[in-house]
C-alpha cells in the first residue's frame, strides 16, 4: 500500500485493501486473545506470589471475558462456505399480509441495517420501494465488510410476524410475512458468471422518494430481468442510470452464482425456487408480539422474549446458533455418506 503508484489504480487498490481488511479480521482477534491470555497468566502468577485475593478475582474476570472472545473466534471459524469471507447483497421483500407485510418488511430491513452498523460494516442502500400506505414493498442493500456474507447466510428465508395490527380498526391479530435473501458478492476474479446482454430485459423509471434534483426528473432507476432464469434485480440508489445499471449487473451476477450453488447444495435448493428467489413456503423464524412476546428460530429452536432487542439488531445469538446447527448437520451428513 505504501508503494509508489499504488493508489493510481483505484479498482485494484480497493481489492487489496478489502483483502487486507479480511485477513486482519481473521488474524487480529486471535493475536489479541493470545496477548490477553499472557497478561492473565502474569496476573495469576502475581496473585499467587503476593497472596492477593483482589488480583486473583480480577484475573478470573478477565479469563471469563477471554473465554467469550474465544467462542466468537470459534464461531467465525465456521464461516467456510464459498463467499462467506466477503461482502453480500441483502434484500427484503414483503409477502402475504397486505399493509402489515409491507410494514413488517420495513422493520425487518431496518433490523439488519442496525445489526450491520453494529458490526462496523459499510452499507449502500441499492433499492428501496415504499408502499403507498406504509412500509416497503422491497428493499436491498450492499453490505460491505469481512464475513458479512457468512454471518448473514442463515437469515435467508421467510420471517413471520404475529401482532395486533395497527392498520386494523377492529384491533385484531394479524399475521404477516416477509422474505429475506442474502447472496455473497460475486467477485469477477473468483467465479466465472457470464451475462449476455441479449438475455437482459431492461426497464427504466424515475427513482422517486428522497434524493437529489435528478430523482424525480430523470429515468435513472433500473429494473433488470434475466430472461433465461427470470431473476429480477433493481437499483435506484444513484443519480446516474449508468451507475445503477452497473450495480444491478453485479447484483444479478451474485444471484446467478447463488443459483449455481443451489443446484449443488440440497439445503439451498430447498430455499430457492427456479427463479432464484426465496420461497415463502420456508419459514425460518417467528416473531410474536401478541398474545405473548417471543422470537423463536424454527431450525435451531433458539428463542428469546426480548423482542425489542432483536428488532434493534441484536441477532448474534440466532446467527451463532444457526452456524453451529448448520455445521453439525453437514458433519453428520458427511459421516452418514461414508
pLDDT tens sequence across 27-72: 888 999 999 999 999 989 988 888 888 888 888 899 999 988 888 8
Is residue 211 predicted with pLDDT exceeding 50? Answer: no
Residue ranges per structural domain of the chain: 6-76, 88-332
Question: What is the bridge-based pairing of β-strands 122-130 and 136-144?
Answer: antiparallel
Return the exposure string of 8-20: e unless at least 16 CB atoms fall within 10 Å of the residue's CB, then b.
eeeeeeeeeebee
Q: 154-198: per-residue pLDDT in tens?
A: 999 999 999 999 988 777 889 999 999 999 986 544 556 788 888
pLDDT higher at 333 or 297: 297
What's the grid cell of residue 257? 452464482
Strands in the chain per DSSP E? 88-94, 122-130, 136-144, 157-164, 173-184, 200-205, 221-226, 231-235, 283-288, 294-297, 303-304
Q: How far apart are CA 190 and CA 87, in angstroms?
A: 13
Greatest CA separation for the chain = 78
pLDDT category at 212 given cuts 50, 70, 90 is very low
Is residue 284 predicted with pLDDT exceeding 60? Answer: yes
Q: 116-158: per-residue pLDDT in tens?
A: 999 999 999 999 989 999 999 999 999 999 899 999 999 999 9
Asked if 43 contacts 59 with a C-beta cutoff of 8 angstroms, the reply is yes
Asked if 115 contacts 176 with a C-beta cutoff of 8 angstroms, the reply is no
Cβ within 8 Å of residue 13, ≥6 positions away: 1, 6, 7
Helix (H, G, I), strand (E, B) or coil at 287: strand
* DSSP β-bridge partners for residue 294: 288
Is residue 270 predicted with pLDDT exceeding 80? Answer: no
What's the grid cell of residue 55? 488480583
pTM: 0.79
Cβ within 8 Å of residue 121, ≥6 positions away: 143, 144, 145, 148
What are phi and psi for residue 187, nearest 5 degrees?
Answer: -75, 130
pLDDT category at 85 given cuts 50, 70, 90 is confident
What are phi and psi for residue 120, nearest 5 degrees?
Answer: 80, 20
Q: What's the CATH code, domain 88-332?
A: 3.30.70.1660
Residue 240: the pLDDT is 79
Amino acid at each position: 500500500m505504501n508503494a509508489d503508484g499504488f493508489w493510481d489504480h483505484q479498482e485494484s487498490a480497493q481489492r487489496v485493501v478489502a483483502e487486507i481488511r479480511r485477513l486482519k479480521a481473521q488474524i487480529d482477534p486471535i493475536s489479541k486473545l493470545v496477548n490477553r491470555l499472557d497478561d492473565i497468566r502474569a496476573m495469576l502468577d502475581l496473585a499467587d506470589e503476593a497472596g492477593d485475593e483482589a488480583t486473583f478475582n480480577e484475573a478470573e474476570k478477565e479469563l471469563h471475558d477471554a473465554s467469550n472472545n474465544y467462542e466468537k473466534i470459534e464461531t467465525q471459524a465456521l464461516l467456510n462456505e464459498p463467499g462467506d469471507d466477503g461482502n453480500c447483497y441483502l434484500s427484503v421483500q414483503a409477502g402475504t399480509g397486505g399493509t402489515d407485510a409491507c410494514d413488517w418488511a420495513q422493520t425487518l430491513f431496518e433490523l439488519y441495517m442496525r445489526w450491520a452498523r453494529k458490526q462496523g460494516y459499510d452499507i449502500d442502500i441499492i433499492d428501496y420501494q415504499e408502499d403507498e400506505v406504509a412500509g416497503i414493498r422491497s428493499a436491498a442493500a450492499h453490505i460491505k465488510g469481512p464475513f458479512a456474507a457468512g454471518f448473514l447466510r442463515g437469515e435467508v428465508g421467510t420471517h413471520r410476524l404475529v401482532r395486533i395490527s395497527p392498520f386494523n380498526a377492529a384491533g385484531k391479530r394479524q399475521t404477516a410475512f416477509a422474505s429475506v435473501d442474502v447472496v455473497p458478492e460475486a467477485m469477477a476474479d473468483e467465479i466465472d458468471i457470464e451475462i449476455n446482454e441479449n438475455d437482459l430485459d431492461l426497464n427504466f423509471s424515475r427513482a422517486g422518494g428522497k434524493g437529489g434534483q435528478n430523482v424525480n426528473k430523470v429515468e435513472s432507476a433500473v429494473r433488470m430481468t434475466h430472461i433465461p432464469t427470470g431473476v429480477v434485480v433493481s437499483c435506484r440508489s444513484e443519480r446516474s442510470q449508468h451507475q445503477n445499471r452497473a450495480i444491478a449487473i453485479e447484483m444479478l451476477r451474485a444471484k446467478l452464482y447463488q443459483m449455481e450453488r443451489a443446484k449443488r447444495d440440497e439445503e439451498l435448493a430447498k430455499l430457492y425456487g427456479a427463479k432464484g428467489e426465496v420461497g415463502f413456503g420456508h419459514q425460518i423464524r417467528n416473531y410474536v408480539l401478541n398474545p405473548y412476546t417471543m422470537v423463536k428460530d424454527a431450525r435451531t429452536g433458539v428463542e428469546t422474549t426480548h423482542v425489542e432487542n432483536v428488532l434493534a439488531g441484536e441477532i448474534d445469538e440466532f446467527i451463532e446458533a444457526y452456524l453451529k446447527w448448520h455445521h453439525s448437520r453437514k458433519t453428520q451428513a458427511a459421516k452418514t455418506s461414508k
